Chain A
Amino acid sequence: DTAVSQTPKYLVTQMGNDKSIKCEQNLGHDTMYWYKQDSKKFLKIMFSYNNKELIINETVPNRFSPKSPDKAHLNLHINSLELGDSAVYFCASSQDKIPGQVFYEQYFGPGTRLTVT
């Protein structure tokens, strides 16, 4: 059973389009994250949600809108895609129940490679 899953695995689209990436975790975790890995392999946090509430929004353009319908899902919607959005997007989760307290191990999904042409 996959612990953290993402769909789709690959996404190729044109500039200006709107697209979504879905993430689901079956670990019973309370906190979920989105990270972006650029072409130089640098990984950086974008958002985190704890029990469906936004905790971190790390200076990401507002074309990116995360949505958490329940604590097992955190989806990423991107409007008006730009060339610079091309990257690998990773979803992650951890069992942190209360933000700012014990910081548990994070588990990552397989990634979604987004290519904007």
Chain B
Amino acid sequence: GIQVEQSPPDLILQEGANSTLRCNFSDSVNNLQWFHQNPWGQLINLFYIPSGTKQNGRLSATTVATERYSLLYISSSQTTDSGVYFCAVGGTDKLIFGTGTRLQVFP
């Protein structure tokens, strides 16, 4: 099956800093999603991005499908950005989740 690796596993930032999270996957995919799991456990959809680039406020994402990786950029981080960021990919019928990047943003 498809393997998904995320890096870094942990990230500690001060408010206002920028960061880049990476997701590598082992096979071609038809679905790639980025999620934020907040400290209350909710999984929040950030991007559906099997290819290309998207932006939503301070967040943006790029997927280079031919090279099998995706990047999530967080600019001017805020304490509310804390939580775990998951990349999930899918071929045809199910999402395979990475192990996540745990982000802590301090004031």
Contact = CB atoms under 8 A, between A and B. Distances in A.
Interface of A: 33, 35, 41-45, 48, 55-56, 58, 88, 90, 96, 99-108, 110-111, 113
B62 interface: no
Contacts of A45: 94-96
Nearest to B93: A99
Tell me the dominant secondary structure on chain B's binding face.
Answer: strand
B85 to A, nearest CB: 11
A102 B48 CA distance: 13
Nearest to B96: A45
Interface string B30-43: 11010101000111
Given A41-B37, A43-B86, A105-B45, 8 more contacts: A42-B99, A43-B97, A44-B97, A45-B95, A55-B93, A103-B31, A104-B31, A105-B33
B97 to A, nearest CB: 4
A107 B37 CA distance: 13
Given A108-B43, A110-B42, A113-B41, A42 B92 contact: no
Interface of B: 30-31, 33, 35, 37, 41-43, 45, 48, 50, 84, 86, 88, 90-97, 99-100
Nearest to B94: A45
A56 B95 CA distance: 11
B49 to A, nearest CB: 10
Given A41-B84, A48-B94, A56-B94, A105 B48 contact: yes
A100 B94 contact: no
Contacts of A48: 93-94
A88 B41 contact: yes
Contact of B30 (A33, A99, A103, A108): A103
B12 to A, nearest CB: 17
26 contacts: A33-B94, A41-B37, A41-B84, A41-B100, A42-B99, A44-B97, A45-B94, A48-B94, A55-B93, A56-B93, A58-B94, A99-B92, A101-B92, A103-B30, A103-B31, A103-B93, A104-B31, A104-B48, A105-B33, A106-B33, A106-B95, A108-B43, A110-B42, A111-B41, A111-B42, A113-B41
